[in-house]
């Protein structure tokens, strides 16, 4: 009995820092702690726009919105519904600041009619203009444009994590296949970035030849003279009834016209309530990359103060043990661990100080 309790205690302590660390950049950006205003939503069309009896406004697309009737008898619908039924429809949300976006959550229409979106694409932009050249499709390490598998009922949340996270201020969801009608609710997963004085915009396509396989296995990088250690961390699921989809590289068959090199994301059932965290890679230092080596503690890595030449991912900050940096396309963003925790550069999580092995420790 004592042995069982001791073993259970070790397992519990092992998972605590991972659960805390995974929350760092896995926030709901649309309707979470800091929700965007209703005016941040726009769409190609909205069903019964201008109706006094029913509220079909675009902001009804927030995740977990439910159908309700107010004291004046106005019925507020449980989703955004498009007026037109074709593959040119889209719904857009403008975030308050540039953010690192790692995934998307979707639902169908609540309260009526068995309506949901079965397949869709996602586009992102930094300037949010209507210029088609400003919008770029979400892809992965092998294709430029991914077709994501969506919902199979009205209310279950389906989460798709992006193989290649993007920095963007605006996101458009473009439904490609639907049940009965184009109706959906959604949210984005990631974190707002403190851009500081940085003015560099990301390239239009993600430059990455490395993916992190599931279960924390080691991936082999295609970069020249680079050994890549891919670490996968468990992420707490934002809602019950959540299904996680992992994107697989297969050619999507569809009756609609969409750009070439598309993939379809397959539905997988997650073990327990965990979803796979976004790709984290660490490649060998290229010319121009600045690292500070400190091997005063066994197994600690190098802190990073310049992302030039570094692979996209998280690294130990050179300023503090209680922080880390996110490198995305050569741009550096300073991040803080929760109070009382330090960055563990080996596990790529915020951990207890005695286990973190901070690279700045003496």
Dihedral pair phi/psi, residue 296, rounded to 5° = -70, -20
Q: Which fold has domain 24-201+211-276?
A: Jelly Rolls (2.60.120)
pLDDT tens digit string along 183-218?
Answer: 999 999 999 986 443 334 444 433 334 333 444 433
Q: Determine which helix (DSSP H) or strand (DSSP E) holds 245, and give its type and residue range.
A: strand 242-251
**Annotation: CATH topology of 282-356:** Antimicrobial Protein, Tachycitin; Chain A (2.170.140)
Bridge partners (DSSP) of residue 279 are none
Mean pLDDT calculated for residue range 23-46: 92
Can you give the residue ranges of every domain in the chain? Answer: 24-201+211-276, 282-356
Higher pLDDT pick, 167 / 238: 167
- Top pLDDT among 185 and 273 is at 185
Position 72 pLDDT exceeds 60: yes
Mean pLDDT of 236-253: 42
Residue 23: which pLDDT band, with cuts at 50, 70 and 90? low
pLDDT for 133 equals: 86
> Does residue 225 surpass a pLDDT of 70?
no
pLDDT at residue number 281: 33
Q: Say whether pLDDT at 268 is over 80.
A: no
Taking the C-alpha atoms of 128, 131, 137 and 138 in order, what is their torsion angle to the nearest 10 degrees? Answer: -10
344 or 177, higher pLDDT: 177
CA distance 361 to 65: 47
- Are 168 and 95 in contact by the 8 Å Cβ rule? The answer is yes
Q: Please give the structure tokens belonging to residue 325.
A: 């940096």
- pLDDT for 194 equals 66
Give me the mean pLDDT over the 55-79 stretch. 95
Query: Is 70 buried (19+), middle (13-18) or exposed (0-12) by CB count in 10 A?
Result: exposed
Query: Mean pLDDT across the stretch 166-190?
Result: 97
167 touches 126 (CB < 8 A): yes
Continuous segment of H or E residues that includes residue 16? helix 2-22
Q: Contact 178/117 with Cβ under 8 angstroms? A: yes
pTM over 0.75: no
- What's the pLDDT score for residue 322? 87
Comparison of pLDDT for 85 and 6, the residue scoring more? 85
Long-range contacts of 298-307 (CB under 8 A, 24+ apart): 298/357, 299/346, 299/357, 300/345, 300/346, 300/357, 300/358, 300/359, 300/361, 301/345, 301/346, 301/359, 302/345, 302/359, 303/345, 303/359, 303/360, 304/332, 305/332, 306/332, 307/331, 307/332
Mean pLDDT in the chain? 72
Is the predicted pLDDT of residue 9 greater than 80, yes or no? no
Cite the beta strand spans of 108-182 per DSSP E.
116-125, 136-137, 145-149, 157-179
Predicted local confidence at residue 251, as pLDDT: 37
Which residues are within 8 A (CB) of 204 and not within 5 positions of it... i.e. 6 or more apart?
136
- Cα–Cα distance, 177 to 186 (Å, whole number): 16
pLDDT, tens only, 134-154: 999 998 777 889 999 999 999
pLDDT of residue 123: 96
pLDDT tens-digit readout, 289-315:
333 333 334 334 578 888 888 887 888
Q: pLDDT category, 264, cuts 50, 70, 90?
A: very low
**Cβ neighbours of residue 225 closer than 8 Å, sequence gap 6 or more:** 284
Confidence at residue 307, expressed as pLDDT on a 0 to 100 scale: 84
Asked if the model's pLDDT at residue 98 lies above 90, the reply is yes
Percentage of the chain surpassing pLDDT 90? 40
Higher pLDDT, 120 or 341: 120
């Amino acid at each position: 009995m004592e042995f069982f309790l001791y073993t259970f205690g070790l397992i519990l302590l092992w998972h605590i820092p991972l659960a805390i660390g995974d929350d760092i950049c896995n926030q709901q950006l649309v309707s979470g702690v800091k929700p965007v205003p209703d005016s941040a939503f726009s769409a190609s069309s909205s069903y019964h726009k201008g109706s006094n009896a029913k509220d079909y406004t675009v902001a009804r697309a927030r995740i977990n919105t439910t159908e309700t009737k107010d004291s004046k008898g106005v019925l507020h619908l449980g989703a955004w519904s498009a007026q037109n039924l074709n593959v040119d429809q889209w719904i857009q949300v403008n975030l308050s600041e540039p953010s690192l976006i790692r995934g998307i959550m979707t639902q169908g229409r609540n309260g009526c009619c068995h309506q949901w979106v079965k397949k869709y694409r996602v586009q992102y932009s930094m300037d949010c203009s209507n210029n088609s050249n400003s919008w770029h499709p979400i892809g992965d390490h092998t294709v430029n444009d991914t077709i994501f598998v969506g919902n199979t009922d009205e209310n279950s949340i389906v989460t798709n994590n992006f193989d290649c996270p993007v920095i963007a201020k605006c996101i458009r969801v473009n439904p490609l296949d639907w049940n009965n009608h184009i109706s959906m609710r959604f949210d984005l997963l990631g974190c707002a970035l403190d851009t500081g004085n940085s003015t560099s915009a990301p390239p239009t396509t993600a430059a990455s030849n490395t993916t992190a396989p599931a279960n924390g296995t080691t991936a082999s990088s295609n970069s020249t003279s680079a050994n890549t250690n891919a670490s996968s961390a468990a992420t707490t699921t934002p809602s019950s009834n959540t299904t996680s989809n992992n994107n697989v590289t297969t050619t999507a068959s569809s009756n609609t016209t969409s750009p070439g090199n598309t993939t379809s994301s397959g539905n997988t059932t997650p073990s327990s309530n965990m979803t796979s965290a976004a790709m984290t890679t660490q490649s060998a230092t290229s010319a121009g990359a600045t690292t500070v080596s400190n091997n005063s503690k066994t197994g600690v890595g190098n802190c990073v103060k310049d992302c030039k030449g570094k692979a996209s991912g998280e690294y130990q900050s050179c300023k503090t043990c209680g922080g880390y940096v996110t490198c995305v396309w050569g741009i550096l963003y300073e991040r803080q661990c929760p109070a009382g925790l330090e960055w563990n550069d080996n596990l790529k999580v915020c951990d207890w100080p005695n286990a973190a092995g901070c690279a700045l420790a003496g």
